[in-house]
Amino acid sequence: MTTPRDSGGTWGPIALGLATLVGVLAVIEAMIRIGWINAFIVPLPSAVLLSFERIIVEEGVLKRFLFTAAEALSAGTLVALVGISLGVLLYRRQILRLACENWIAALAAAPLVLLYPLFLVIFGRNAVTIVMIGFLSGLPPAILKTVEGLSGTRRTLIDVGRSFNLSPSQQFRKILFPAALPTIFVGLRLGLMFALINIVGVEFLINFGGLGQFVNELAERYDLPAMYAAIFFVILVSVGFFLLTERIERWLGRAR
Amino acid sequence: MSTGGRFGITRVVRVRIAIVVVVLAVWEAVAMSGWLFRDVVPRLEKIGRALLTLLAKPDLYGNLGTTAYEVGLSLVVGGIAGVAVGLLMGGNRTLGKAFEPYLHYLGPTPKIIFFPIMIMWFGVGGGSKIAMGAISCFFPMAISTAVGMREIDAVLVRVGKSFRAGVGQMVTKIYLPAMRPAMLTGLRLGLGVAIIGVLLAETKLSNRGLGYMVIQSYTRFDIAEMYALLIVVFLVAIAANALVSRLGALKRGSS
């Protein structure tokens, strides 16, 4: 978190970072022009920059972005609904939690995205497969963090609820859930991020859908400048997403 | 787990067994009912037999070896690069503020989209898979190392300085031991994403490795073998992850 005290000193390093980035790109540009780097392997940074207009105007990258965003949103909604519900279930039934929590943590470590051929067989080569893979890979962190958040509720808060004679459902809605929300959101954010990564990955692998397919298509067409521009676009999307969720998380954290 | 004693181990084990039995029973019922295409949900017996056949194939171990080699080498390359960059970012405030945001931005980017570039740079063979694994594990390693370095207790550093430890001694006696938990976290995360990076690259374009085997069984529509392969891959990945976690616990216990 930036405090007013050190925010004055952050612009220098940021400028340094940007200057280095521009400098590196300029050096690469020069090395390609001299012929030290093969232009058939690494396109000119200036050509990449110029092809941005092309991928936006001619190739409809924004439409593809919306497609991927819609997939991520669907997967994210599923992750939130199912993940939080399962988390609450595990919190309520401690025996289930003891039995399953380690399994779920192990699942989080397994390369779930490798299930995509199986999902192709079940759902076909369409958006459902992509959304389901995204949903599945985002599920473990959402469940685990929901359980963690609920069980981390401060004893005093629970006792306050008790002293007001809240019913179990009121207790949950007014005390437990709000207290756990920041932690739950950490889980949702992780889950969404995993979902987005896997969605773009599967799009790339099965050559279907939004941005992932776009990168794959440009690679197959050997349109290098546009491919680099498209990759840069995917990075921009991840960055935007990262910053947005970070902002929300901070806001929730402060609300606590 | 504080509530462990309330139920005792046996009840947890019983619930676990019950869950497994229910899942298997539902699976078998679906397989027999024919609600889904029979090939999508094969009988358990068929999967079991495919698993045994698979485990008897020398082919599996060759491909497992290839994938393990690629993941291992990618961990070495990506890990060393990540630790080096992390030490620089963590040790120097200006460098950290200037470049660490880029690590955080690139970290959650789906690395697989760099695969076409890696093919062009390192060829269609093992090189591009190792590169995929390496860029995947570079980010968690670098970020964890930087964070770990910054969170070192200042007292420890002062103790080292008051003993007039040299740079080498400071690194081996103070910095590295203090950063071990953070670096092991990085290694665990890095291992997970390196495995994913390598396997996905193998499914996309390869003629060796476990990822290649999975996609082969898909193209042959040999679903039972595909399940068997996925079981093997998941178990290996989970075991590798558990091994690294165990390593962390063990070292912390002995120090």
Cα distance between residue B129 and residue B197, in whole Å: 7
What one-character DSSP code corresponds to residue A221? T
Domains of chain B in sequence order: 1-41 (no CATH), 44-254 (1.10.3720.10)
Q: Which of residues 152-191 of A touch B (CB under 8 A)?
A: none
Q: Which of A63-72, A125-134, A141-150, A231-240 has the lowest mean pLDDT?
A: A231-240
Looking at residue B4, what is its pLDDT? 47
Residues 6+ positions from B211 with CB-CB distance below 8 Å: A114, B67, B198, B199, B200, B201, B202, B203
Question: What average pLDDT score do residues B190-209 get?
Answer: 90
Provide DSSP, A73-84: HHHHHHHHHHHH
Measure CB to CB from residue A242 to each of B1, B104, B121 and give the nearest one.
B104
**Per-residue pLDDT reduced to its tens digit, B25-75:** 988 888 888 776 667 788 888 899 999 999 998 989 999 999 999 999 999
Alpha helices (runs of H) in B43-175, residue ranges in sequence order: 44-56, 58-91, 93-106, 115-122, 126-150, 154-162, 167-169
The C-alpha of A256 sits at a distance from chain B's nearest C-alpha, in angstroms, of 25
- Residue in A closest to B216 by C-alpha: A117
List of chain A residues whose C-beta atoms are within 8 Å of the C-beta of residue B96: 13
Tell me whether 0.85 is exceeded by the ipTM. Answer: no
* Residue A98 host element (H or E): helix A94-109
- Identify the pLDDT of residue A9: 61
Q: What is the DSSP letter of A111?
A: -
Taking alpha carbons only, the member of B181, B227, B10 closest to residue A114 is B227
Residue A28 predicted with pLDDT over 50? yes
Shortest CA gap B156–chain A (Å): 25
Is the confidence at residue B80, as pLDDT, over 90? yes
Identify the DSSP state of B68: H
Q: Which pTM value belongs to this model?
A: 0.83
* CB-CB neighbors (< 8 A) of B218 in chain A: 117-118, 120-121
Of A111, A121, A235, nearest to B109 by CB-CB distance is A235
Specify the pLDDT at position B250: 65
Which of B7, B105, B110 is opposite residue A197, by nearest beta carbon?
B110
Q: Let me know: does A90 contact A140? Beta carbons within 8 Å.
A: no
Q: Is B223 helix (H, G, I), strand (E, B) or coil?
A: helix
Judge whether residue B19 has pLDDT over 70.
yes
Percent of chain B at pLDDT > 90 equals 30
pLDDT of residue B37: 67
Average pLDDT of chain A is 85
Going from the C-alpha of A53 to that of each of A22, A223, A224, B113, the distances in angstroms are 20, 14, 15, 20
Mean pLDDT of A22-30: 90
Phi, psi of B224 (to 5 degrees): -60, -45
Q: Kindly state the DSSP code that residue A113 receives in the 8-state scheme.
A: G
Write down the pLDDT at residue A100: 86
Instruction: Convert the pLDDT of each residue in A155-195 to its tens digit.
Output: 888 888 888 888 888 888 888 888 888 888 888 888 988 89
- Checking if the pLDDT of B254 tops 50, the result is no
Looking at residue A114, its pLDDT comes to 85
**B106 interaction partners in chain A (CB closer than 8 Å):** 235
Q: What is the mean pLDDT of the segment spanning A97-105? A: 85
